[in-house]
Amino acid sequence: MNLESSLKKLFSLHNFGIKLGLDNIIAFINHLGNPQKKLKCIHIAGSNGKGSTASFIASILQEYGFNVGLYTSPHFVKFNERIVINGEEISDQYISDFINQNEKYIDERQLTFFEVTTAMAFTYFNEMNPDYCVIETGLGGRLDATNVLNPLAVVITSISLEHTNVLGNTIEQIAAEKAAIINNSSKVFIGNLTKEAISIFEKKCKETSSTLFKLNDFTSDDEEEVNLNIDKLLLNLNPPINGKYQKYNSALAALTIAKTFSLSDAEKYLIGIANVTENTGLRGRYEYFHRNPTVIFDSAHNPEGLENFLIEFKKEYLVYKKRILIFGAMRDKSILEMLKMCTEYFDEILISDINYERAAKATEIKLLCDELKITSKIIEDPTTFIEQFSSLQTNDCLVVLGSMYLLGEIKRRLSIGIA
């Protein structure tokens, strides 16, 4: 089976949907010899910011000279982006070999895409033997396939109402699902959470004899600046990605490393944060894809993420003569709320289908726009639209926003010249 056939097989596992629960993954990694047991991991969960925070942690550790495995999802352009060591993606050959060797087991147990991908990441990291691994959860925490680790540290970036049909209808319920990745005597690091969420983590840490570190206790800020003060380490955070929320993500990453590994070279922290894109391939976070005219890609996929994007976009949106939005989202997101948030910042909203089973259809989003009396239209070919827009001599701005699957699909087509 070649790579194309292997990936076709792997992506076909989406047909089994999302199966929350650990029985399948535990049985599979037992079958594989429990590769996760040898990994020294940092485990990251959160509604927003977990991919960025994971990348900042990996990048800083790389600047200290460590080999660092990084497991994130979803990918943008190619599957290999999910599993990297020091920015180098897992090879096509390894993916093919893993699927070939385990195809019978996968079929017999009807494993899901994420279960197989997670087991592949653990096996690959075990064989490549990086010094540390940074592992991002897929959905929630308690029943997520990654929740089979005994990590060095647990990081919770943010908590907001998401996947309410699965995780619960309140902040407290969702926080409890994510807190379930905390093991006994863990070091736990949380971002700027609400009081309701903090109380859940305080309770969980007390129950598990874990040590809780709250980002707020180590940061000071003003309108734009964010400073981190840990013992002898004082950092003014200036990541290369727009948005004050990214300064907090980088601060949470730095706090995690400082308190987990007792590393205190300020220059290496700052270089690691500055080089996050080069070291890890992080993208799709207020990413300027084109200038003059401006095209921005942002993976804000829920109201909290969109609010963070709009805080930054407010600083520049009036500069543009016209502002156009291409939007697509998963069906389980608060699409109606997101559309309401966008109306005053965009003159035109274009809706795109996403080739993914959990995605909301463009026609469904169009009906919501009509309900809100928002002028919108369905766009069949966003790639061609972006290419044509980019060739114009105009002071307009085009934002591609929503699911990472939307951004990835468009960027893949743009990168290989598919119109």
Domain extents in the chain = 3-280, 287-415
**Rounded CA gap, 3 and 374, in Å?**
44
**Rounded CA gap, 3 and 13, in Å?**
16
Place of tokens 């020294």: 40
Region of 325 please: left (phi>0), alpha (psi -120 to 50) or beta: beta
pLDDT of 332 reads 79
**Rounded CA gap, 113 and 129, in Å?**
24
Q: Which two tokens stand for residue 16?
A: 């089994």
Which of 77, 92, 56 minimizes the C-alpha distance to 280? 56
Cα 272 → chain centroid? 19
Cβ atoms of 119 and 20 closer than 8 Å: no
Q: Per residue of the chain (419 residues), what is the pLDDT tens digit? A: 666 777 787 878 765 556 667 999 999 999 999 999 999 999 999 988 999 999 999 999 999 999 999 999 988 888 999 999 999 999 999 999 999 999 999 999 999 999 999 999 999 999 999 999 999 998 878 889 999 999 999 999 998 866 545 565 688 999 999 999 999 999 999 999 999 999 999 999 999 999 999 999 999 988 789 999 998 899 999 999 988 999 999 999 999 999 999 999 999 999 999 999 999 999 889 999 999 999 999 999 889 899 999 999 999 999 999 999 999 998 878 899 999 999 999 999 999 999 888 889 999 999 999 998 888 999 999 999 999 999 998 999 999 999 988 998 998 888 754 43
pLDDT of 162 reads 63
- Tell the burial category of 313 from Cβ atoms under 10 Å away from its Cβ (0-12, 13-18, 19+): buried
**Rounded CA gap, 367 and 245, in Å?**
32
Which CATH homologous superfamily contains domain 287-415?
Answer: Mur ligase, C-terminal domain (3.90.190.20)
Helix axes 23-31, 113-128, angle to 10 degrees: 40
| Cα angle 363, 367, 368; round to 5 | 120
pLDDT of 17 reads 57
Please tell me whether residue 246 adopts helix, strand or coil conformation: helix
pLDDT of 97 reads 94
Helices and strands counted in the chain (H then E): 16, 17
DSSP string covering 77-116: S-GGGGEEETTEEPPHHHHHHHHHHHHHHHHHHT--HHHH
Q: Which helix (H) or strand (E) holds 213?
A: strand 211-214
Which of 317, 320, 289 minimizes the C-alpha distance to 386? 289
pLDDT of 76 reads 85
- The residue type found at 83 is I
3-280 under CATH 3.40.50.300, yes or no = no
